[in-house]
Structure 1
Amino acid sequence: MDPLNDVLAVLDMRSAQFARLEATGAWAISFLGYQHIKLGAVLDGACWVETEGERPVRVADGDCYLLGNGRPYRLSSDPAVPAQPSSDFFAGFVEGSTVRVGPSDSHPDAVVVGCGFHLDTANAAVLLDVLPPLVHVPAASEEADAIRTALNMLRKETATTEVGSLLIVERLAHIVLVQVLRSHIAAQGPTGQAWLTALADPAIATALGLIHETPAHPWTVAELAAKAGMSRSHLAARFSELVGTPPLEYLATWRIRSAARELRSGNRTIASIAAQYGYNSDSAFSHAFKRVTGMAPGRYRRQARLASSSS
């Protein structure tokens, strides 16, 4: 059981546009907030990353960062340099190509790669609400060791136009993303008071894994506690403290998020999906679905299909 993998799967995480930036001299670029998550990695040199309302953070060779919550942000050689909008540099951009800022005949002072990740909009809050505006993983940190190999491959693949390079980069970006999330979990420990950092607590991670693996099972707090090796009262208190919601409320929400994935990915009837996740009537399922996602199952399916066809 891997609760983190379960959540990423339910969120239908897909990589979006990928870019490599090479910059020289004094420069600063402002970006509009990305709708969901933006992953960045410094492959050479150093620069500053700053999200709206937060202090600038210096990122150097081997560092990774994750931007969430859709805030505008900027990259620069120095926070004092006035920024130009990204549209000035990325007009006509082709995915996988390199954008150069400053003189192109000298070695760049910074090489940064970035990749956006799109989540299912109705469920995106599951991850976005528990991430800070900026997650920074320095190259010198213990957690960065596992990322280093992937970054070395990214350095090579983003500098070439060989067949299949974009596919390789996409897979590497997913690997780096998971490693960055792991690093964030490790850095916060089981005190972050959000389900993501609750994964650092073995017993609560076990309970989450059981709920994710068999959401239709009529779990009770007592049964989850026995499986996790805790008393009923201890599990209920610890789960609520770390995850932010009681176990059975989390279960009810997870059932709907799992059902939403079924609605997006297949042609099964809404009634059969409702039954799969423990709902005895369409009306009960529709009411629960609307409470979690803000829309009825049929409307959700239609909107998901429309979004898929237009992407």
Structure 2
Amino acid sequence: MDVLSDAITAMRTGQPHSGHTRKLAPWGLRFPSTPGAGFHVVLQGSCWLLPPGSPEAPIRLDTGDVVLLPHGRGYALADALDTALVDVVLGPDGLLPAQRPARTDAPADPAATVTLCGAYQLDRVRPHPLLAALPPVLHLPSGIDRHPALRALVDLLTGELGEHRPGSHAAVPALLDAMLLLVLRAWLAETACTATTGWAAALGDPAITTALSEIHADPAHPWTVEELGARAGLSRAAFARRFTTLVGQPPLGYLTWWRMTTAGRLLHESDAPLRTVAQQSGYLSEFAFAKAFKREHGTSPGRYRAQVAGQRGR
């Protein structure tokens, strides 16, 4: 099982949206906080990112730079640090307004800044610890060429947004979802070179990755620390220490978290009886499952399903 894909799937909701714009100085945009995450790619020119949580230092973005803001906090983009900022107003749906795509057949203007951006809706009620632990800004400098798959995806997405080819309405959301995955993959790969703790280090550790994959592949299995350690090729004590250090919680603590996350998804996406949901989440007793679910989610499985159904019906 792919832990990174599961982490994203556990939080992704709604449809992503995107824009491809060309701006001439002076320009400055202040983006409000949102429930989701967003990225920007500088295709031409340069600009400044004023990150969330000021007084963090501004970040200069040059051609080829990619930046992801995973926590939905407000930030700003501008051509220069002293440019006045215009507030971007959210639409009635709580999303950023659609942007008119930059014309791909427009005359080239070397003074323009051309950007590709995208935004994702995320459910932050129960964030996966991998995404919750990300820093406020993930900056991949113009060495994006070190990640050819990401570069190719940027080219594909730019073409789809700028040329409006048949099928673009279906292609763009899929490409945006792939964009989120590849940006995270690239950042985790670069960070793993120096990380000694955290999820970047965990996903770069074959033993811990093996254990995480086993948990994600079969959360209903009655896993023990000893069995997970054996699958990872480590003694029980060595495995427990390494897992807790890298992941941030003990193996069985993460197992319970993933079981409850799996149960929430099953209640949200299927009409399976509670007994079936309990069994697929690793509980032989429906009573034990309901007790564990309420402890983790703050409500009973039945009420949780009813709340989700009510939200879908609005």
Q: TM-score, normalised by structure 2?
A: 0.87
The answer on 1:209 being equivalent to 2:217 is no
How many angstroms apart in 2 are the aligned matches of 1:292 and 1:246?
16
Determine the C-alpha separation between the residues in 1 that align with 2:17 and 2:239.
Answer: 42
Question: Does the 8 A contact of 1:207 with 1:227 survive in 2?
Answer: yes
- Please tell me the root mean square deviation across aligned C-alpha atoms, in Å: 2.7
In 2, distance between residues paired with 1:241 and 1:32?
35
Code of the residue aligned with 2:89 in structure 1: it is S
Look up the SS of the partner of 1:218 in the other structure. coil
SS at match of 1:122: coil
TM-score (norm 1): 0.88
Aligned mate of 1:247, from 251, 275, 285: 251
Task: Give, in angstroms, the shift of residue 29 of structure 1.
Answer: 0.4
Alpha-carbon distance in 2 for matches of 1:248, 1:117: 31
* Correspondence for 2:198 among 194, 200, 203: 194
- 1:278 to partner: Cα distance: 2.1
Work out the CA distance in 2 between the residues paired with 1:255 and 1:68: 24
2:22 is equivalent to residue 22 of structure 1: yes
Q: Which amino acid aligns with 1:259?
A: A
After TM superposition, give the deviation of residue 283 of structure 1 in Å.
Answer: 3.2
1:61 to 60, 63, 66: 63
Provide the residue aligned with 2:137 in structure 1: 134
Letter in 2 for 1:51: P
Question: Is 1:118 aligned to residue 142 of structure 2?
Answer: no
Residue 51 (str. 1) matches residue 55 (str. 2): no
- Residue 174 (str. 1) matches residue 177 (str. 2): yes
* Corresponding residue for residue 89 of structure 2: 87
2:276 partner letter: S
2:208 partner amino acid: I
CA–CA distance in structure 2, aligned partners of residues 124 and 266 of structure 1: 21
Residue pair 1:20, 1:99 contacting (<8 A) in 2 also: yes
Q: Could you tell me whether the CA contact under 8 Å between 2:90 and 2:96 is conserved in 1?
A: no
SS at match of 1:20: strand
Tell me the secondary structure at the aligned position of residue 205 of structure 1.
helix
Q: 1:238 offset after TM fit, Å?
A: 0.4
Deviations 1:1-56, CA, capped at 9 Å, x for gaps: 32112222333455423222321111110011121221222222221122222221
Q: Which runs of 5+ in 2 are unaligned?
A: none
Give how far 1:168 is off: 2.0
Amino acid at match of 1:11: M
Structure 1 equivalent of residue 167 of structure 2: 164
What is residue 157 of structure 2 aligned with on the other side? 154
In 1, the alpha carbon distance for the partners of 2:113 and 2:64 equals: 11
Paired with 1:93 and 1:187, the residues of 2 have a C-alpha distance of 30
Q: Distance in 2 between matches of 1:25 and 1:125?
A: 39
Q: What SS does the aligned partner of 1:225 have?
A: helix
Residue pair 1:37, 1:70 contacting (<8 A) in 2 also: yes
The worse-fitting range, judged by mean Cα deviation, of 269-278 and 160-169 is: 160-169
Tell me how far 1:79 sits from its aligned partner. Answer: 2.1
> How many residues are treated as equivalent by the alignment?
306
Counterpart-to-counterpart distance in 2, 1:120 and 1:296: 19
Post-superposition offset of 1:276: 2.0
Report the Cα offset of residue 67 of structure 1: 0.5
Residue of structure 1 aligned with 2:73, choices 56, 71, 74: 71
